[in-house]
Amino acid sequence: MTEQERLEEFEARIAQGDKIEPGDWMPDLYRKQLIRLIHQHANSEIMGALPEGTWIPYAPTFKRKLALMAKVQDEVGHAQLLYRAAETLGKSREAMVEELLSGQSKYSNVFNYPCETWADIGIIGWLIDGAAIINQTLMAEGSYGPYARALKRICLEEAFHIKQGYDIIITLMNGTPQQWAMVQDALNRWWWPIIMFFGPHDKASVHTATLQRWGVKPKTNDEQRQEFLRKFVPKIWELGLTLPDPDLHIDEAGEVHFTDPDWAIFYAVINGGGPMGPERLAVRRLSYQEGAWVRRALAGRPVAAVA
C-alpha cells in the first residue's frame, strides 16, 4: 500500500466511526498530537490532586473528608489511566513524568492557584470539574480507542465530583451570611481562571481542520467554553450568586457574551508563573522522589541495591 492509500483508509475508518487502536497505522501528526494532548491531560489530573488534597485534613465533617478523599483519589487514578493510554502511542511513562517535573510539559492553568477557604473546594468540584466534564465528554467520542475508553470511565467519576462540589456550595449557601460570602468570594477569585481553563481562542492553525476531521479534538476551545457558559451561567445566577464580569450577558439565541480575559496571565500561569506554580511542582517532585522505592520494589529490584 502507498502512503496515500494508507491515509485514505485511515480517514475512511474514522469517517465511519471506527476507533483507531495502538497497532494500527496512523499518520505521524495524529500520533504526535494525541501524545501531547493525553500527556497534558494526565499531568492535569495528577497536579489537580494537589490543591484539593491540601484541604483533606481540614474538611469540616467526617463525611466531607471521606468524599473529598475519594475525589482526590479518583483524580490520581485518572492520571494513571491517561499515562497508560499515552504509553500505547509509544512514549514511556517515565519520560512523561520527567517532562512534567522539569516543567517541559504543561498542565492546566487552574491548578496553579491557591485554595483559600473551604468554599474553594465547592467551586473547584462544581465548576472546574464541570468544565472538565464538558471537555472530557467530547473527547470520549474521539477516534483513538484507548483514550476514548479511558475517558468513558473518567466521565462517570467526574459526575460524582460535580455533585460533591455542588453539595458543598448549597450547604454553605444555606448557612450563615459569612458562609454565603465565602462562596461568592471563591467564585470571584476562580471565575477568570475557569474562563481561561479551555485555553486560548481558536487560532487559524494549519492543522485545526485536519485534527478535527481525524477526531483528535472534536470541538474547538471557544466552542467548549461557550458550551460551559451556556450550561453554568444560568445555574450560578439561579442560586443568587453574581459573576465578576459586568459585561457578561446572554443574548436571545442563548449565546453567552463575556469580557475577554487577560491572556498574558494565562501564559504566565501555564509556564509556572502562577501564584502556586513553583510550590505545586516542588510537591510533585518530592512525592516522586519519596515514591522511588515503591517503583523499584514493583520492578522487582532490591530496594537496598539501588541508591
Per rule CB under 5 A, count of chain residues that contact Fe ion: 6
Nearest distance in Å: CB 78, Fe ion: 4
> Exposed e or buried b for every residue in 263-299, given b needs 16+ CB within 10 A?
eeebeebbeeebebbeebbebbeeeeeeeeeeeeeee
Nearest distance in Å: CB 132, Fe ion: 6
Cα 63–Cα 64–Cα 68 angle in degrees, nearest 5: 120
- Phi-psi map region of 17: left, alpha, beta (phi>0 left; psi -120 to 50 alpha): left
**Binding string to Fe ion for residues 19 to 58, with x set by CB under 5 A, is what?**
--------------------------x-------------
Q: Which is nearer to Fe ion, 91 or 161 (CB)?
A: 161
> Hey, which residues between 123 and 152 contact Fe ion (CB under 5 A)?
129
Nearest distance in Å: CB 205, Fe ion: 26
Coil, strand, or helix at residue 219? coil
Q: Give the residue among 137, 167, 131 at the shortest CA–CA distance from 155.
A: 137
Query: How far out from the chain centre does Cα 163 lie?
Result: 17
Q: Which is nearer to Fe ion, 42 or 182 (CB)?
A: 42
Nearest distance in Å: CB 151, Fe ion: 10
Query: How far out from the chain centre does Cα 26 lie?
Result: 26
Nearest distance in Å: CB 186, Fe ion: 17
Nearest distance in Å: CB 114, Fe ion: 19
Given candidates 161, 189, 217, 280, which one binds Fe ion under the rule CB under 5 A? 161
Q: Which is nearer to Fe ion, 74 or 256 (CB)?
A: 74
Q: Give the residue among 117, 126, 119 at the shortest CA–CA distance from 166.
A: 126
Selected range binding Fe ion among 25-33, 154-162, 253-261, 285-293, rule: CB under 5 A: 154-162
**Binding string to Fe ion for residues 73 to 92, with x set by CB under 5 A, is what?**
--x--x--------------
Q: Which is nearer to Fe ion, 10 or 39 (CB)?
A: 39
Tell me which DSSP letter residue 203 carries.
P
Q: Which is nearer to Fe ion, 157 or 223 (CB)?
A: 157
Q: Which is nearer to Fe ion, 71 or 189 (CB)?
A: 71
Q: Which is nearer to Fe ion, 75 or 87 (CB)?
A: 75
> Hey, which residues between 240 and 259 contact Fe ion (CB under 5 A)?
none
Nearest distance in Å: CB 75, Fe ion: 5
Q: Give the residue among 237, 77, 44 at the shortest CA–CA distance from 160.
A: 77
Nearest distance in Å: CB 153, Fe ion: 10
Q: Give the residue among 275, 136, 297, 135 at the shortest CA–CA distance from 193.
A: 275
Could you list the beta-strand ranges (E) of the chain. 249-250, 256-257
Alpha carbon of 233 to those of 38, 153, 302, 305: distances in Å? 29, 27, 55, 57
Chain residues that interact with Fe ion, rule: CB under 5 A = 45, 75, 78, 129, 158, 161
